[in-house]
């Protein structure tokens, strides 16, 4: 059954010259049919450089929007329009404008997990891989509003040694990873390296050996001499880690760290997206151009 589905996807993909991109948090079987697996910016860059005219983005809405920001001439498809990001939805344009009024002159640093309108209203974008560098690039005399993830902001503030005006947003999936989960696993697997994502809470990050973005985790695990790892992020990444490092063992910090939105994309929906060419991401040009500026400023760093 799954074999038939995969065969149909492969054949339609070739026929329509589509590139399939999958985020590191997608279901294993979706990662397996993708041309590229990565983080949102990595994949958006791939979308911009591929010769394919149609990009099928297996991820959540802000990721497909990021691809469209950089590739306006291409058709960008998201298999399920309900695949949103609760963290991205934790700040509205009205709220951001109000915050900017409270801190006139402050630079707005916006995590990639945000809607295109929010990016358009921000000065510079960042990812979890480069948030520290982005903050460090801002002159010391400037105040910085960091949106929307308070835990990534808290981590960035401590590493960059810079006061940030934080927004009260968070990733509900990363918050499912608790210090007691880490303690228990550390006792059970004392030789395991503990790698967590900077969207985790401060107490979880402080118990870890490393706090890294998804691509940071992929790279770290490959290069590390350790053979066991406790992974504190959305559990979809463990599929990739096992595939690329079959000799190593991985333990999810919490079995509850599953993003329901990421898991909305199934092989069936990928096939329907290819058959019906939906759902197409559209962005108003003036908003896209403003958002692109914020993304490009980040890419220049």
Nearer to ligand CIZ, 25 or 279 (CB): 25
Which of the ranges 132-140, 182-190, 207-215, 249-257 carries the binding residues for ligand CIZ, by CB under 6 A?
207-215
213 binds ligand CIZ (CB under 6 A): yes
Could you give the CA distance from residue 247 to residue 16 in angstroms, rounded to a whole number?
37
CA–CA distance, 214 with 238 (Å, rounded to integer): 10
Whichever of 106 and 210 has its CB closer to ligand CIZ, that residue is 210
Angle at 150 between CA 146 and CA 156, to 5 degrees: 65
181 binds ligand CIZ, rule: CB under 6 A: no
Q: Is 44 in the site for ligand CIZ (CB under 6 A)?
A: no
Q: Which residue's CB comes closest to ligand CIZ?
A: 39
Of these, 26, 31, 156, 214, which contacts ligand CIZ (CB under 6 A)? Answer: 214
Binding of residue 40 to ligand CIZ (CB under 6 A):
yes
In contact, 231 and 45? CB cutoff 8 Å: no
Nearer to ligand CIZ, 264 or 271 (CB): 264
Q: How many residues bind ligand CIZ (CB under 6 A)?
A: 12
Interface pick for ligand CIZ out of 113, 156, 173, 254 (rule CB under 6 A): 113
Residue 210 sits in the site that holds ligand CIZ (CB under 6 A):
no
| Residue labelled with tokens 């962005």 | 283
Contacts of 168 (CB under 8 A, 6+ apart): 90, 150
| 70 belongs to the binding site for ligand CIZ (CB under 6 A) | no
Binder among 50, 122, 127, 261 for ligand CIZ (CB under 6 A): 127
Q: Enumerate residues 6+ apart whose C-beta is below 8 A from 87.
A: 113, 148, 149, 169, 170, 171, 172, 199
Q: Binding to ligand CIZ by residue 26, rule CB under 6 A?
A: no
**Interface ranges with ligand CIZ (CB under 6 A):** 23, 39-41, 112-113, 127-128, 197, 213-215
């Amino acid at each position: 059954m799954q074999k038939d589905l995969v065969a149909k996807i492969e054949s339609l993909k070739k026929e329509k010259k589509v590139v399939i991109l999958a985020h590191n948090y997608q279901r294993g079987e979706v990662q397996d049919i993708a041309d590229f697996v990565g983080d949102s910016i990595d994949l958006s860059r791939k979308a911009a450089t591929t010769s394919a005219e149609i990009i099928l983005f297996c991820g959540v809405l802000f990721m497909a929007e990021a691809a469209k920001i950089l590739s306006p001439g291409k058709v960008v498809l998201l298999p399920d329009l309900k695949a949103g990001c609760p963290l991205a939805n934790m700040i509205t344009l009205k709220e951001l404008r109000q915050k900017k009024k409270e801190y006139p002159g402050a630079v707005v640093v916006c995590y990639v997990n945000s809607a295109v309108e929010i990016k358009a209203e921000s000065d510079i974008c960042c990812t979890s891989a480069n948030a520290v560098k982005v903050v460090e690039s801002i002159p010391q005399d400037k105040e910085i509003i960091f949106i929307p993830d308070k835990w990534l902001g808290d981590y960035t503030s401590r590493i960059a040694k810079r006061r940030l005006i934080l927004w009260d947003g968070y990733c509900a999936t990363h918050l499912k990873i608790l210090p007691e989960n880490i303690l228990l696993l550390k006792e059970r697997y004392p030789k395991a390296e503990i790698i967590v994502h900077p969207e985790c809470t401060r107490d979880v990050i402080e118990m870890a050996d490393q706090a890294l973005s998804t691509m940071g985790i992929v790279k770290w695990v490959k290069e590390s001499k350790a053979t066991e790892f406790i992974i504190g992020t959305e559990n979809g990444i463990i599929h990739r880690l096992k595939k690329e490092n079959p000799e190593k063992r991985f333990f999810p910090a919490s079995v509850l760290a599953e993003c329901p939105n990421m898991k909305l994309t199934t092989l069936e929906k990928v096939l329907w997206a290819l058959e019906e060419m939906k759902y197409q991401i559209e962005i108003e040009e003036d908003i896209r151009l403003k958002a692109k500026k914020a993304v490009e400023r980040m890419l220049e760093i």
